[in-house]
Structure 1
């Protein structure tokens, strides 16, 4: 039977998880290159592409946590060539997205996908961008030791942290996508869709450069 001390420990643990969830949710909502990409794709009419890209990012964060817990995060941190290679691929993908949006952009018919890309590719691009990001690795190298004991992590604790991470990111990305979807009809009423499309393409391209310089 669980003792009172165990119950208190469980309560503290749960409170830490909730605090971690809201902190990660807030950090994810801060304007950045990945949020910009999802918002631009939603505005351009490719909502499903934005969702799958966000799904890849969330899965990538979960993988990063797994790497940090089992000590592989430090191994990767000492090999910057992995980050350089992944950043080059991510930048190429993002610049390609910006080119597609520049050519087609927002269309009156939302069923017209302006990017025309496979959803597996969207998930893979989001996952790769996240897993091989030095900033993501550094974030969890700092956060996780304050949340769980990395020297003695049990399966339930690890699963709880992973679930909280995925949920926080998914909630934040859905908030961004819903907001962009709400703005889209307002922008569609304008007469200068060409200008809006160019602005969206520039935002996505700038996000790619941002990732490359970060």
Structure 2
């Protein structure tokens, strides 16, 4: 049975880890600026699902199983790197468009959700938090299925949704302000550099 202090320690650690900009946050902000709120929250949903998967691995002692699929996770990480580089290219070559438009197709939302999941599963920071740092924050031997379902899962969703929403809202403010051609070009190229930088960081960790 986990107590309130354990939950507080977990949510604080998760909140700090989530708020630190990484590939997931970079993609979240860039997608929110480029495609609007719905796409941003779709990508955030993918991020949350990925975190819940790693939380489940850690809580149910499946770290060994996760490690046994190292080849799969390596492929996911490289696929995430490729996706970030693709986004960087898209933003670098993007043309000016109507920032007030909020139309997003179902395929775009699906792509955003899938990319959020892929980036999270391939993010070394997420892997390190749940499979290495989480056991230091929580005594996983005391966590039951009920604790996982009724406490840790809702707490994880709440923390990630809160942090992600803050970033999305910040991105939307930028989206509304930067309507001019030059401002949009600078914004897109800054996002492209950020995406490429995140991909480069992941590549260095793979080498």
TM-score, L = length of structure 1? 0.80
Structure 2 portions without partners, runs of 5+: none
SS in structure 2 of the partner of residue 188 of structure 1? coil
Is 1:172 aligned to residue 166 of structure 2? no
Could you tell me whether the CA contact under 8 Å between 2:10 and 2:138 is conserved in 1?
no
2:199 is aligned, of 201, 205, 208, to 208
| Pairing partner for 1:100 from 90, 104, 117 | 90
What is the match of residue 58 of structure 1? Answer: 48
Task: Mark the runs of 5 or more structure 1 residues left unpaired by the alignment.
Answer: 1-8
8 A Cα contact 2:46 2:114, kept in partner: yes
Pairing of 1:127-206 with structure 2 (within 5 A): 127-146=117-136, 148-151=138-141, 153-159=143-149, 160-188=151-179, 191-206=182-197
Contact 1:77 1:134 (C-alpha < 8 Å) held by counterparts: no
State the partner residue of 1:31: 21
Classify the secondary structure of the residue corresponding to 2:101.
coil
Query: Relative to structure 1, is the Cα distance of residues 127 and 196 closer, same or farther in structure 2, using a 3 angstrom cutoff?
Result: closer
Are the equivalent residues in 1 in contact too, given 2:30–2:191 (CA < 8 A)? yes
Larger Rg: 1
Written as runs of structure 1 = structure 2, the 5 A alignment for 1:6-45 is: 13-45=3-35
Match of 1:81, SS? helix
Contact 2:24–2:120 under 8 Å retained in 1: no
Q: Deviations over 1:102-129 (max 9, x none)?
A: 2326633432679995222221221122
How far 1:58 sits from its partner (Å)? 0.9
Q: Which residue in the other structure is 1:122 paired with?
A: 112
Alpha-carbon distance between aligned partners in 2 of 1:210 and 1:105, rounded to the nearest angstrom:
27
46-55 or 143-152, which deviates more:
143-152
**Partners of 1:22 and 1:150 in 2: how far apart?**
17
Deviation readout 1:125-155 (Å, 9 max, x if unpaired): 2112223444323212344434554345322
CA contact (8 A) 1:44 1:105 kept: no
What count of residue pairs does the alignment treat as equivalent?
204
In the superposition, the TM-score normalised over structure 2's length comes to: 0.82
